[in-house]
Chain A
């Protein structure tokens, strides 16, 4: 039997709110397919499972994307979208990445430079403004 594989319809880019359709091949027609986003970067990792369905005998799936978040890439954090196919024990059989964005491209987060002269002042002397 060939490797379990998730095949997504189209080029793997989606608009927020669209439906993600595809087909599973190479594994037993069992388990679950999940649509999720995940953060990567400096902070604690967060994960959101936005839709999921049991894998049917035909191996087709259709999942719904929410309006947000978008696929983004920045210096401090990235948000990635993906699909994963899990077997009955919860082991990941296959996974693939997709892009969710109004432009169908990864949103690049620009680096924000701190403003000059905005140092916090903890003390103020009498008479000073």
Chain B
């Protein structure tokens, strides 16, 4: 199967699986109220591939206010010049941050000091580390099955039956699960 026809192509999965609070038994209004009640400083907590980044994308779009976005990871654990520019230009506006706990100790201190001037701070983390949680995300096989229905409603690829096994293999990491489905649909993995 060619990439453009693969139902599990990343762009397609991302557009179909925008964060839906209904899947975790909540509604946007509840999350927005909680965000304000927490003083606009909070984190979203969950394991790898549990939907943290999807939540950040959807939530920031829903808030519809000026923001700056930061991405850090194991391989991007130092502040770069464009991060410093954003830290400077982001005074008074919302900061949406992915993976700030990956920052090296000194950079993290600089970052948090600058963040005190932000108009809001929402971070995706594996653990709270002192920030109050706005949301705790945890995937399970039922959620994976519901999401699968959105990607391949007619089970065209025939992967539905294998989903529980693949879910366990990827230890609940939904991002890896969909990539595995991509590979299987493409005939790259058995």
Binding site for B on A (CB under 8 A): 40-45, 73-78, 80
Contact = CB atoms under 8 A, between A and B. Distances in A.
A45 B4 contact: no
Contacts of B187: 75
B10 A75 contact: no
Q: From A43, A44, A74, A75, name the one whose CB has the most chain B CB atoms within 10 angstroms.
A: A75
A125 B2 CA distance: 43
B99 to A, nearest CB: 16
B contacts with A: majority SS: helix
B4 A43 contact: no
B182 interface: yes
B152 to A, nearest CB: 16
B10 A43 contact: yes
Given A42-B179, A42-B182, A74 B3 contact: yes
Contacts of A43: 10
B4 A75 contact: no
Contacts of A80: 4
Interface residues of B, number: 16
Given A42-B179, A42-B182, A78 B10 contact: no
Interface string B168-190: 00000000000100110011100
B3 A42 contact: yes
B139 interface: no
A112 to B, nearest CB: 11
Contact of A78 (B4, B12, B179, B182): B4
Contacts of B4: 40-41, 73, 78, 80
